[in-house]
Amino acid sequence: MAARHARPAHLENATLEEIADKYIAKFETRVPDWDAFSDANIEGYRRAQHRFIGAGASGKHDAAGIIPAENFTLSIMLVPPGQGNAPHTHEVEEVFFILKGRCVVFIDDEDGRRVSRELGPWECISCPAGVIHGYVNETDEDCYLQVVLGRGRPDVAGFADQKLFENRERHLKD
């Protein structure tokens, strides 16, 4: 057997056991972070992040047990009924992929116009960089969605609401 691509320098001498220990994460070991985002303690925006790879949009970077990211991040969000996230942007694309339940995803423009679509399991939206976007669970059941950001260490979310934007790094102090 031959590896057709070189390992990254930091893995050149790693054993398979070391690679498995560092790059495998199980849901049962993820701790839901209900304070992952500065808007997550505000009614209507409550949600928990189960981080798997990299920091995600929260800006928290070096938590134990998180798979190190090179070029993207991956989290699972638990979104209770009536909750979602505040309209925001990123410097890279962000994908919301629905795993269980239903939620409404939206994109906004700076004039307040909104386009919304309800998504269910195995459906997704890819939000381009700089486009205001978000989601809300309008059902009476929890929604689980996978979130992928196109950078290993993305900037903290750029909330469209000025007060949320000014307070966007509050959760990093915890």
Domain boundary assignment for the chain = 29-173
Distance CA 36, CA 58 (A): 5
Three-state DSSP class for 18?
helix
Name the helix (H) or strand (E) containing 165.
Answer: helix 162-166
In the block, tokens 């054993």 appear at 15
pLDDT at position 174: 47
Q: What local confidence, expressed as pLDDT, does residue 38 receive?
A: 84
Angstrom distance (rounded) from CA 150 to CA 108: 20
Low-confidence ranges of the chain (pLDDT < 70): 55-64, 168-174
pLDDT on residue 91: 94
Quick one: three-class SS letters along 34-101?
CCCCCCCCCCCCCCEEEEEECCHHHCCCCCCCCECCCCCEEEEEEECCCCECCCEECCCCEEEEEEEC
Non-local (6+) Cβ contacts of 105 within 8 A are 96, 116, 117, 118, 119, 125, 133, 134, 135
Centre a 10 Å sphere on the Cβ of residue 102 and count the other Cβ atoms it contains: 15
Q: Which two structure tokens, joined as six digits, stand for 76?
A: 């699972």
Please give the pLDDT value at position 152: 86
**CATH T-level fold of 29-173:** Jelly Rolls (2.60.120)
The predicted pLDDT at position 141 comes to 98
